[in-house]
């Protein structure tokens, strides 16, 4: 990213997080680094996309749970337009499905907000050096579910309605499919999540990051 560096060669950092306290902490951490320059902040994914396009940062620190457009959508949009974008995920929400989606969309590192500010600074430097940094809990989540099948978008759509309390007939009507199709997808969901019943499936899906709270 040739024009992503300032004239003095500083690492240009964009922070995208809807929590002012988190942005303040990251801002202060970046300010202590002589080779880093905070070029902008965003409060939601839509703003993050626009500011990345405008400011061309070296690295973006991206929360996943943000209003309007979430971090996953923002990562996808940014990486589609800027294939070499460096994006470090900082989130409160682990879960192998969310982690895998972020990495598949192009995130270069994945840290939890419980990580130290020093770890976050190290992740920024690792990112521009082409190295991936993963929080230990994130690595554990991925290892725990290695080899398991992910839910398909259609299965997630069914489970989202289950979480809202819809029965099979109502789900079929909402998704314009037959009731038998809904039952078939529910059987697949229960098998993939190793869930006892519909309620348990929703709980597991939230824990693994297929569904948001």
Token digits for 121? 């600074």
56-99, pLDDT tens digit by residue? 999 999 999 899 999 999 999 999 999 999 999 998 877 888 88
Q: Return the residue matching tokens 């020093």.
A: 118
Starting at the earlier edge strand, list the strands of the sheet with 11-16: 36-42, 11-16, 59-62, 86-91, 109-112
Higher pLDDT, 147 or 97: 97
Token digits for 22? 């988190």
pLDDT of residue 3: 44
pLDDT of residue 7: 54
| Alpha-helix runs per DSSP H in the chain | 20-31, 45-55, 71-81, 96-105, 117-128, 136-144, 153-163, 168-175, 179-193, 198-208
Cα 148 versus chain centre, distance: 20
Per DSSP bridges, beta strands 11-16 and 59-62 are parallel
Which domains does the chain possess? Answer: 2-144 (3.40.50.2300), 153-208 (1.10.10.10)
Mean pLDDT of the chain: 91
Contact 68, 46 (CB under 8 A): yes
* Mean pLDDT to the nearest integer, 142-159: 88
* Mean pLDDT to the nearest integer, 10-25: 95
3-state SS, residue 90: strand
């Amino acid at each position: 990213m040739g024009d992503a560096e300032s004239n003095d060669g500083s690492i240009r950092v964009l922070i995208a997080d809807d929590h002012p306290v988190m942005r303040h902490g990251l801002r202060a951490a970046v300010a202590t680094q002589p080779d880093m320059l905070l070029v902008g902040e965003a409060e939601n994914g839509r703003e993050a996309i626009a500011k990345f396009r405008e400011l061309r940062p070296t690295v973006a620190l991206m929360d996943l749970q943000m209003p309007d457009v979430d971090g996953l959508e923002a990562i996808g949009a940014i990486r589609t337009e800027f294939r070499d974008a460096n994006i470090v995920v900082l989130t409160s929400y682990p879960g192998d499905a969310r982690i895998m989606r972020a990495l598949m969309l192009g995130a270069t590192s994945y840290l939890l907000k419980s990580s130290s500010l020093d770890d976050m600074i190290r992740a920024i430097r690792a990112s521009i050096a082409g190295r991936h940094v993963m929080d230990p809990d994130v690595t554990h989540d991925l290892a725990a579910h290695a080899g398991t099948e992910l839910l398909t978008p259609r299965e997630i759509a069914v489970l989202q309605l289950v979480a809202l309390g819809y029965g099979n007939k109502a789900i079929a009507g909402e998704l314009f499919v037959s009731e038998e199709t809904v039952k078939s997808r529910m059987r697949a969901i229960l098998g993939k999540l190793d869930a006892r019943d519909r309620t348990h499936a929703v709980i597991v899906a939230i824990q693994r990051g297929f569904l948001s709270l």
